[in-house]
Structure 1
Amino acid sequence: MKPQLLAGAAAAALLAATGAFAQDSGWYGAIDLGAHQIRPFETVASGEEPQGLNFRTNINFAGFARLGYRISPHVRVELEGGYRRSGNFSSAHDTDQPPLGDGFDLCAVGSAPGQCDRPDGSLDAWTGMANLLIDVLPNAILDPFVGGGVGVNYIRLRADGAININGDNTADTLSIHDSNTKFAYQGIAGVAFRASERLNVDLTYRYIDGQRAGFKSVATGTFQPGTFSAHYRDQSLTLGLR
């Protein structure tokens, strides 16, 4: 799953948006923009020493492009491409300990003694999903909808920092530059506002989960945590035009 695929899906959705929207059946396109928050990315390391790293991120941008078909007034199916950006980490500390506690932390290179500045890195995701949606009140101005989807999640983890052991900075460094594609599933809920006969405004909540993904690391020194693996869990809230 690459950024070019999302761009292609967005173009297809915009082209489909010229179709009929208010009919009992037919094609439609949609674009959704908003924000998302990754749940704490609690990894487990394959090495013997560390339990893993808990990567935390801040709220950031999410965007989706959808191409759908209304089967009946109450039932829709969609193909959806999504992108969730994380930006820099807010922290990366031992899964079982608080920051700078007994355990393993990843800090920015050059952090002062007794401090653990956030490391460089990002955790981005591109998704491709097939959704089934149920419109509860398809003829109302406000139409609640629920649904779900299955597909794939391409996850890219980038992390670079210095290793901190039991609150003490070390000269050893750790780098993770890896990606993985795994099966994913999501739950969807929202409400659609009928702005006109051909345009709906969708307020959509998504929660995504999936298979555990692994990411290889490279460390200097004798401390070798190996491969970090975790479930990517995320919630998003978007506003879209359909």
Structure 2
Amino acid sequence: MRSSFKLFAVLAAGTSLAFSGAAHAGEPYVGASAGLNLPSDSKNRGEFEGDVAATADFDAIASGTDLDWTTELNNGLDLNLLAGYRFDNGFRVELQGFYNKSNVDLHRDLAVGGTVIDAVDSAVLTRGAADPANPTVGTVLSTDDGQIKNYGLMANAFYDFQISESLVPYVGAGVGFTRQDVEYAPSGIDVVDDKSTRFTYQGMAGVTYRLSPSFELFGQYTYRATDRGDYDVNLLPATLGVKSEQSIFNLGFRIPLGGGS
């Protein structure tokens, strides 16, 4: 979290410099982009918030026991709307609204109290009777039901390197918030279906190609990270922390609205 606040301070300083240097006319713009979201595996970590009683086949689970597993996510679509202001000293500031979704590929390595139980009878989760005909925990988890949706608003600051009239590389950083909707339903079992709003930060690098004074294309790479959020587990008396990290590749356009030279 400390690194998040450091990034926020850097962004705030850059934005301040941009405004303080805007002695001459600038130029507002709007734009949009679309691309590919490549999410990292989600390392889910939580704990039991209540005791789970023992059965004839399974031991009790005490409140406070650690719960964690890994969720592998498929690549998905990323969409963005942009509104910004370009100063004549190379700085830009921008508001970005985004949406992306990643479908679950599979869950694996479910651990309770530090012990992986993928090979255990899945009845350990439902507290039903053990039976050789039951699938294992790992089999139940290795399905692709579920998704993570992200809706967010970011405040970004960029610096454009004017190497020619038409070609402009740039770097930037941003902070904001993401509304994250987590749905985990392996084998149709409702494990998690919850939402949370979390602090988000990102770093960007890209290149702009100016086709005309009123239209430009750009390609951009974004690394985005959302702080771990706590989500209620429906199957068991537990909460789960889900951390989101994404590598995003976008192509888009900007329309300058006049005011600059």
Q: Same fold (TM over 0.5)?
A: yes
Partner of 1:93: 108
Q: Please give the per-residue CA displacement for 1:16-75, whole angstroms capped at 9, x wherever unaligned.
A: xxxxxxx96111001001110111110102125554121111111001000001122411
Partner of 2:36: 35
Alignment map for 1:65-84 (pairs within 5 Å) = 65-84=81-100
CA distance in 1, matches of 2:208, 2:237: 47
Partner of 1:234: 246
CA distance in 1, matches of 2:175, 2:164: 27
Amino acid at match of 1:226: A
Structure 2, unmatched stretches of 5+, are 1-23, 49-63, 123-132, 255-261
Aligned residues: 200
Classify the secondary structure of the residue corresponding to 1:118.
coil
Do structure 1's residue 204 and structure 2's residue 220 form an aligned pair?
yes
Partner of 1:179: 195
CA distance in 2, matches of 1:76, 1:94: 44
> 1:112 and 1:144, CA in 2 relative to 1: closer, same or farther beyond 3 A?
same
Structure 1, unmatched stretches of 5+, are 1-22, 164-172
Is residue 43–residue 95 contact of structure 1 (8 Å, CA) maintained in 2?
no
| Among 117, 121, 125, the residue aligned to 1:103 | 117
Is residue 145–residue 187 contact of structure 2 (8 Å, CA) maintained in 1?
no
Amino acid at match of 1:152: F
- CA positional deviation for 1:104: 4.2
- CA positional deviation for 1:233: 0.8
Amino acid at match of 1:207: Y
Identity among equivalent positions (%) equals 24
Classify the secondary structure of the residue corresponding to 1:37.
strand
Amino acid at match of 2:36: A
| Among 33, 53, 63, the residue aligned to 2:79 | 63
Is residue 135–residue 144 contact of structure 1 (8 Å, CA) maintained in 2?
yes
- CA positional deviation for 1:115: 4.1
Q: Which deviates further from its counterpart, 40-49 or 192-201?
A: 40-49
Partner of 1:168: none
Query: Considering only aligned residues, what root-mean-square deviation do their CA atoms show, in Å?
Result: 2.8
CA distance in 1, matches of 2:225, 2:102: 16
TM-score for both structures, normalised by structure 1: 0.74
| Among 102, 120, 124, the residue aligned to 2:149 | 124
When Rg is computed on C-alpha atoms for both structures, the one with the higher figure is 2
> 1:216 and 1:57, CA in 2 relative to 1: closer, same or farther beyond 3 A?
same
CA distance in 2, matches of 1:27, 1:192: 16
Is residue 216–residue 226 contact of structure 1 (8 Å, CA) maintained in 2?
yes
CA distance in 2, matches of 1:191, 1:111: 54
Is residue 53–residue 104 contact of structure 1 (8 Å, CA) maintained in 2?
no
- CA positional deviation for 1:209: 1.1
CA distance in 2, matches of 1:200, 1:141: 9
Q: Whose helix fraction is larger, Structure 1's or Structure 2's?
A: 2
Amino acid at match of 1:90: D
> 1:201 and 1:124, CA in 2 relative to 1: closer, same or farther beyond 3 A?
same
Amino acid at match of 2:76: N
> 1:191 and 1:78, CA in 2 relative to 1: closer, same or farther beyond 3 A?
same
> 1:241 and 1:111, CA in 2 relative to 1: closer, same or farther beyond 3 A?
farther
